A and B are shown apart, each in its own frame.
Chain A
């Protein structure tokens, strides 16, 4: 599904990812943990195609399609979804308008028919209900004045509606209270499917109690320093990153 080989990325002439290799097969959920500044968000941004993230070596492919040669929106249409660590506020654009515009833009690029307004509303209503999002909130400009937790819920709502093939969740758990964490995790778990893959970036074991990963990778200084099974999260919780920091240096 997602195949990353020796990915090397610099931002403003500073090398952040230093030959990162990672494979996530279809149907699996992998977690990435690692100290602040290790390059986790950089990985997400690079895969999504943010400008000024310069790939100097390596490759990244989704279902065999080269991601790096595509424009940002083409990657989305190919099925990639990045949930932002800090979702942006879009003044003047109601959440519903934003999501519908994105959905139909993707469909158009894939040569599919647009979704009609009534159908879109019906689907949105159902998903919003399951995420405990009020429809009135969706009439407000996207994320403007939303709480941290509401913004993250809005990200999950968009995943559920856009139905991407591969999800990158960048700290989707941060800023969530205990109840919201449950709601969001359930929303994410509902999206687990044999033909869908996920990369979950987190600092906390507690998210992985809800979303059990197939594998956990430790990202340190721009590389995967260690990989293991779900039990790795507990070890990290107890011992921290010290032993891996040594390895990377």
Chain B
């Protein structure tokens, strides 16, 4: 683990390059108390056909291996944490998932909770030759939460790794993935969509290490930020010496809806190989006033017009989710969140 939630000396600060804009030490200040985890999770509102449900309380991943076996290709990990009134409840642990050659897994990860808690979790994934993992992550945590979710993904030739992360932020939230790209036909896609309001913070950090030839990577991240919300996007793509024929494309687009909101984007490409196709695009702007006027001149009131344009901006990321049920569920989630979001 990169740091220990229960040992303040190890907490990353802004002096650590990768935590420059997400200063955990400054945010936490007081060491969380390690507590018995509450398991009073409500029954899921969402009905997903054929998904095996496994609850993760705090960061307790015990039984994960068995859950993956029982899931038969479709697993729903319901993360749940609960805070306390007297100080911050802390949870920290690791879990691992190993996919055998040719094995397929669709992993739906939801992150929910209540109150003042701090969670640091780390998931380790290994994908053997030709394995396929699709992670759909919905971070729907309370604004009081501190949440650092890290994962490492080790791929093999012809493996396929996809993650789509949807976030509404929290007091301090970071989702971080480190992928070792095996090339040789392996494919990686790491998308994201965020809708942040109030005083929330979301940090999406991805690191991709292309170590061998002919690896393919695409990234599309889109987000909306308003009020005093803050977003950090750090996307690093490293193409090692010898990883010739790598094709990596990253695109981050954010709309800032008012003056107090902030987006810091740090796309990084480091290329040491030949015959490489790499591109990254980063745009941060506001809604197009001309488009807004055009919509309104056809009869839409401002809220409807803004809603339509914002929805149109964010939805393509969600439409790229492969699994039909999850795509529909996530669309519904975003639409529900967006309802209160689009208002000026």
A residues neighboring B (CB under 8 Å): 48-51, 71-73, 75-77, 81-82, 84, 87-88, 90-93, 97-99, 101-103, 105-106, 109, 141, 158, 162
Contact = CB atoms under 8 A, between A and B. Distances in A.
B298 to A, nearest CB: 4
Contacts of B313: 91-92
Contact of B296 (A76, A84, A87, A158): A76
Nearest to A78: B299
Given A90-B309, A91-B312, A93-B308, A102 B293 contact: no
A174 to B, nearest CB: 18
A162 to B, nearest CB: 7
Interface in B293-321: 293-302, 304-305, 308-309, 311-313, 315-316
A109 B301 contact: yes
The 10 closest A-B pairs by CB, nearest first: A92-B312, A106-B299, A102-B298, A76-B299, A72-B296, A88-B294, A105-B300, A93-B312, A102-B299, A73-B296
Contacts of A82: 297
A97 B298 CA distance: 13
Nearest to B316: A92
A82 B293 CA distance: 11
A51 B294 CA distance: 12
B299 A77 contact: yes
A50 to B, nearest CB: 5
A72 to B, nearest CB: 4
Contact of A49 (B297, B301, B311, B312): B297
A106 B300 CA distance: 7
Contacts of B290: 88
5 contacts: A75-B297, A88-B294, A92-B315, A101-B300, A158-B298
B299 A73 contact: yes
Nearest to A80: B297
Contacts of B30: none
Contacts of A102: 295, 298-300
A85 to B, nearest CB: 12
Contact of B295 (A50, A90, A92): A90
B308 A98 contact: yes
A158 B299 CA distance: 11
B100 interface: no
Given A102-B300, A105-B300, A51 B293 contact: yes
Chain B interface bracket (under 10, 10 to 19, 20 to 34, 35 or more): 20 to 34
From DSSP, what is the main secondary structure of chain A's interface residues? helix
B279 interface: no
A76 B294 CA distance: 11
Contacts of A49: 296-297
Given A91-B312, A106-B299, A72 B304 contact: no
Nearest to A72: B296
Interface of B: 289-291, 293-302, 304-305, 308-309, 311-313, 315-316
A72 B291 contact: no
Contact of A105 (B291, B301, B312): B301
For A51, A76, A77, A106, the residue with the greatest tally of chain B CB atoms inside 10 Å of its CB is A76
A184 to B, nearest CB: 18
Contacts of B308: 93, 97-98, 101
Contacts of B301: 71, 73, 105, 109
A141 B308 CA distance: 12
Contacts of B296: 49, 71-73, 76
Nearest to B296: A72
Given A90-B291, A92-B316, A105 B297 contact: no
A160 to B, nearest CB: 13
Contact of B293 (A72, A87, A97, A106): A72
Nearest to B310: A92
B259 to A, nearest CB: 18
A105 B293 contact: no
For A71, A82, A102, A103, the residue with the greatest tally of chain B CB atoms inside 10 Å of its CB is A102
Given A51-B293, A72-B293, A92-B315, A162 B309 contact: no
A97 B312 CA distance: 11
A100 B316 CA distance: 20
A103 B297 contact: no
For B291, B311, B312, the residue with the greatest tally of chain A CB atoms inside 10 Å of its CB is B312
For B289, B290, B301, B311, the residue with the greatest tally of chain A CB atoms inside 10 Å of its CB is B301
Contacts of A81: 297-298
Given A92-B316, A105-B301, 7 more contacts: A48-B293, A76-B297, A77-B299, A98-B308, A101-B300, A105-B300, A162-B298
B300 A88 contact: no
Nearest to A47: B297
Nearest to B311: A92
A167 B312 CA distance: 28
B343 to A, nearest CB: 16
A202 to B, nearest CB: 20
Contacts of A48: 293, 297
B283 to A, nearest CB: 13
Nearest to A88: B294
Contacts of A77: 299
Contacts of A92: 309, 311-313, 315-316
